[in-house]
Amino acid sequence: MNTNTVNQPIRHSSLPKLAECPCFEGKPGEAGPAAARGTLLDLAMRELLAGGEMPTEVTGEDAAAVEWAMATVQELAGGAKILSADADCKVTTPGMEHTGTADAIVPERLLVIDLKSGKVRNYREQVAAYALGLMEEYFAGRWTCVLLFCDAREMVVHEFTYEEAEALVGGILKAARDPARKPALCDYCNWCAFSTSCDARMEAVEQTLEIVSIVEPLTMEQREWVVESLLEDREGTARFLAQAKVFDAFRERVEERVKEILTEDAEALPGWKLRSGGTSEVVFADDLKRLVASGTLSMGGVLEAVGNMSGRKFRELWSREMITSEVPAVIRKGAQRAPSLVATKTKPHSDI
């Protein structure tokens, strides 16, 4: 039996996670600093779109990120009316009790925009629910959803017909409400209310610990033999990799806590010390564009410094700018990449 008991109404923002694991539930009342920053940047962009001022607590890089987002929304709207007030951006999606709130809606262009801070992640299922609700409200048969990743200055576009959005959202809700649903280990486990209690996670950690306790006292040759024996069982190998991933997630959490402890007291953990980190620096494409346009930097100099472009990015660029013509034969074979291991669909590990 799984210990999942929280059962909150399904939120729009939970849909991408539920698409991975139908048992996922967000941690109640836990808005970390990243979420609080995201909410503040959302508010700042809406304030600017409504003709107001940048909130005083949004400064520096955060203010530049919000300004980029606001300018992008205005460009996408192309002069059409932008709804950004909280009351105008509420979205009720068929089949969901929770009322979502989009960041900006441009009804005339059948367009919804959501600002995201942090890493570029998948939010397709969340915006599909916005699209479905907005198509109902505005009697439309298709809708465009734009995600603005303001830290990376990236834009991701998803387009849905009514049927596509309904099938995607309806499928996730059906699976999440199925009493026989089973937990599926996924990349969202660390954000889940059951991250430290879920049967699937516990089972994975216990089994990995068991293997570690068997292997730890062995000689190198004996360990090699264990590895070779494990590899003979292909299903066992796949299961071991999935379980070890969960174990790694727990180890990472312990490491994060230990870093905090060692920051307070450098001698707190025998045999371990903290190596100081640093902040990376970046120049955004927008600033490079501006410096080239003003003649301060040459286009050739910038391109030389930035270096090569991947074949995928070049194809995307070409199809965006040269819609009808064929991609020229400038894409060459690059360096050979070492193969990497990627988990496909993680199988459920225990009954709920």
List residues binding ligand SF4 (CB under 6 A): 4, 21, 23-24, 183-186, 188-189, 192, 194-195, 198, 200-201
What DSSP assignment string belongs to 243-277? HHHHHHHHHHHHHHHHHHHHHH-TTSSTT--PPP-
Distance CA 122, CA 158 (A): 11
Q: Output the smallest distance, CB 88 to ligand SF4, in A.
A: 33
Nearer to ligand SF4, 44 or 204 (CB): 204
Q: Output the smallest distance, CB 143 to ligand SF4, in A.
A: 28
Nearer to ligand SF4, 283 or 343 (CB): 343
For CA atoms 318, 319, 323, 326, the dihedral sign is positive
Q: Output the smallest distance, CB 31 to ligand SF4, in A.
A: 18
Q: Output the smallest distance, CB 27 to ligand SF4, in A.
A: 10
Nearer to ligand SF4, 21 or 172 (CB): 21
Distance CA 237, CA 243 (A): 10
Count of CB atoms situated within 10 Å of the CB of 36: 10
Count of CB atoms situated within 10 Å of the CB of 145: 25
Cα-only R_g, the chain: 24
Q: Output the smallest distance, CB 101 to ligand SF4, in A.
A: 24
Nearer to ligand SF4, 24 or 160 (CB): 24
Nearer to ligand SF4, 215 or 343 (CB): 343
Distance CA 334, CA 338 (A): 12
Nearer to ligand SF4, 12 or 46 (CB): 12
Instruction: Give the tokens for residue 134.
Output: 């907005």
- Can you give 312-328 as a three-state secondary structure string? HHHHHHHHHHCCCCCCC
Q: Output the smallest distance, CB 344 to ligand SF4, in A.
A: 16
Q: What is the β-pairing status of strands 111-116 and 142-149? A: parallel
Distance CA 144, CA 148 (A): 13
